[in-house]
Structure 1
Amino acid sequence: MLGRLYRLFAVLLCFTTLDTVAQSAGDRPVYTSEWGHLYRTENNKMDLLGIFPTEAPVYVLDSTKTQYKVQVSNGDIGFIMKQPLQRAMFGKRSAGEPTQYFYRGTQGSQCPHFFVQVSELRVRKAPDVSSTAVRRARLNELVCIDYFPLYTDGWVYVGDHFHERPEFIQAKFLGAELTYDKVLKEYLKVKGKDQKQEILWVGRLREIAWTDDKKLKQALTFWKESFENAGLQDPKVDIDFELYLADRFQVRPAFDVVEKQVTSLRMHFDWKGLLLYDGKITESQMKQLQMQKVSVIPDMPECGWEPVYYYRSDNNIVAFEENVKGKVFGSVYQVTLSNELALWMGEERIDMNYDEKEFVKHFGHLVSTDWIGPPHVYRIPDGDAGLFMITFENGKAVRYECMFYC
């Protein structure tokens, strides 16, 4: 009997109607149980502000007999029809939810989302063009949405769920997913006919091609041709280096062959004359290098990396973790390369003076990189679970890191 009463109480808690109590500032949102429209004024269904999906987060400000006054994720305030409001999300949809606004992917199981339609779109801290730009969204970036404005120049919230790191994009820059072939078709339509549009579309073509090695060389060749014909230069793009990278990607072997070749390089570190190999690093070596033992590293990702403790200096971190047999061993997590600290890959000694083009010459067929995201960062597979990352700045190697997939 007590169990049945407890379950009934839980249901009532989750599906409260909040008839008389408005939410206080700082409260977590509640969630709609059905999709619907946000109306600008009370009891006026002709004056639409926007549309929201099932389980949209809302903040209840007030209520009437038939409607709630709410604030939605982008800051719009209006009225919605009364419905059960949930304290948690359950990943459900309600009947008739319009896919033109709330597409959930080919499997119907993703968050409602759109894709960014333009290059280097500024993502703002607040829904205002004068607000600080916190980052730039890349072309075709998927953004989850929980409310879509139905008026000109409305904003969509694309930040974290609880608005601790707010981000906003204007809705007019969002649309259906782009493909390389779609962008190529638009580029070829204007090539040689409309120079302004040609430069715009070839920029998008280059950007989307950086996600597809097979298309990259063609897109970069078009980019170089269009910019040269227009007599333009882009100081942010070293197109000849990018084409060199694209050539190296054409000879990339299958993944299992890449793994074998990476293993054969016997990657290790030369640190003030000490040769350090992951899995064989000892505490005495860290003390010899005058590293400080610590128990916690702030912001260390937890996925797949469970150190027992660390040794660190200003720019370097070595983590000691326990394997399945209870043996503790050390692995380099992050180092800043210098004259005294170098990474060996086969016969190549990579220190602060090592040239980026030499790296691409020797290892370009083994690496992946994305010069639209963080340029000059090269990723080398570490089995199925992780990556080694080597970063170059101003043409020279500066940093090594490892990471595991979350």
Structure 2
Amino acid sequence: MEQRTSSPYPGKDRPVLAVIGVLLVVSTVVFAVTDHRKDWRWYQAEFRKMVAEKFGAEKAATLPAGMKQIWVKDLGRADRCITCHQGILWKGFETAEHPWKTHPAEPLKIHPVEDYGCTACHGGQGWAVESEKAHGPIHFWEEPVLGKAMGEAYSIQGDDKGALMQMNCNVCHRYDRETKGADLINLGKKLVNEKGCRACHVVNGRGGTIGPDLTYVGDKAAEQYDMSRLGGQKTAFAWHVAHLKNPKELVPDTVMPSFGFGTKESQALAALVLSWRRAPVPATYRPGVPRTDPQTPEEIAEEERMKHGPGAWFVSTGCFVCHSVASLGVKSAAQVGPDLSTAVEDTQKRFGKTVDDFIKNPTGTMSVVLSRQIILTDAEKEVAIQKLREAFAEHQKQKAAAPAAH
């Protein structure tokens, strides 16, 4: 009987089907092998061996297998890190390599894994179970692991190369004056107070308006920065470090002065400002401190003393935020600008102007200050000139009364 087929290639069907069949078998085997060798399977197998060697086969048999996940409802995070990092709660693997290493016990006493997960502190993509995707950096994921590798990439100063993780700590601890174990962030907070950053910037609802509000500057994406003058890594952290070292190098028309920050100080401040971001952190996750950033009692007492002293005018107008007036007992915490005790002769030396002309027609940074932050009427400018002359007269009197240096 004649056999009929609808194939356009009669007689060739069997070889073609045979080749397709072989390819399917090979691809199935390859898929099965690669699936079996996925990172998390291998890491679990290795950890099981480590437990068996250290504690015996019976103990190793209790280890869970398969993907594991911590669901932190309040933070909206699903962290599968423990799929590979199975040793975090096991004592005895403190010197092991990652991902089998025991987690330091102290932080977990107040940040239990079941309540905080992993990525809220460490960063990374919690859903991923492949090393590269979990740790980052990858496209469309802005929370890479802030560990030692990241610290080394940025040449973080000091012994703690994993210090960048402190940026995540400060999301909850931003209102702490000092946070135990967060030395980099603590240094940044200290510098903000010492250098009087609030003279020009609002931080947590308090400060000047010459510069941008920094309260949530950490939300600003890297794409929003002008990287055209930045060499090396084009990231927000790198931009802030370079800007803090030399503001005019990145922003030529800025009025921000150079504070002479070194690398360590610039890194500390960069980490701090990038931690200032809006985050949906429930009240239960914040430490028991007021969610405000008030002045200390010492700062308030010092300000009250100056408000009722001979230099009260400089305090009430806000000049003292940047300038001391030593001859009248006014001390600026920031001391960004020169002491105004000698402004009468200083304006002549530096700008070739009398103090009268400089107040009425300021230049440089003061032109911005007197047009945006301390706005004086013509009558108030006359008062300012009078006060500066009084301060200079007192300076000369004190200088004449001082014993001659030998």
- TM-score by length of structure 2 reads 0.26
Q: Flag the structure with higher helix content.
A: 2
Larger CA Rg, structure 1 vs 2: 2
Q: Flag the structure with higher strand content.
A: 1
- TM-score by length of structure 1 reads 0.26
Higher relative contact order (CA 8 A, sep 6+): 2
